[in-house]
Amino acid sequence: MKVLSGWHTDNDFTGPYGLPLELTFEDIRSPNFCSLVGRYAPEAGARELLNELIRLGAVKETDDNWFKVLTRTYLPKFDNPDSLDHLGQSIENFANTIDYNRTEREPTKKLFERVVDADDGIRPEDLPRFRSFIRERAQLLLEEIDNWLSQLDPPTMNDESEPVRTGLGIYQYIERKDSDEKLD
């Protein structure tokens, strides 16, 4: 979600060490949530978006009309219509990368696509430790990439070429023998 990313990377909404500022809802004397939404999601209603972020646990109210962001990651819940959009977009991006790499003859032009896995699998009791490890390490990498991307000058309408939509997706997979098998 652009609002969460902007709250973590935009110099107008971060402090001296790059930490996200606590924001008021709309106090014009300081950076505020309404101006954050206006910059990163102008089509959204600021109050509705704030209420949704609080409901999701991404933001909390710390004092009367002051708000603190708790995460820069948003994954919609399965019963949220956004989850189908997320599923479709993720599958499309991944499939397009594989197809592009399959047909591109020049090795230096291929997109980054790597998989690492345990040759013989891992013990079921090691799965929670593995999940924790990759969540921590992958999140750090993605935040570093997000910070790098946010420092680029945004494309302008005066540019002769269309902006390029690009990014990096990281996912964990678990092969299941039975489609009803739980992934605990």
pLDDT in tens, 41-54: 999 999 999 998 99
Higher-pLDDT residue of 76, 52: 52
Structure tokens at 68: 């603190």
The span from the CA of 74 to the CA of 63, in Å, is 23
**Phi–psi pair at 60, nearest 5 degrees:** -135, 150
In the chain, pLDDT over 70 holds for what percent of residues?
Answer: 90
One-letter amino acid for residue 34 of the chain:
C
Gyration radius of the chain's alpha carbons: 20
pLDDT of residue 62: 94
Q: How open is the CA angle 72-74-78, to the nearest 5 degrees?
A: 165
Which of 72, 73, 74, 59 has its CA nearest to residue 22? 59
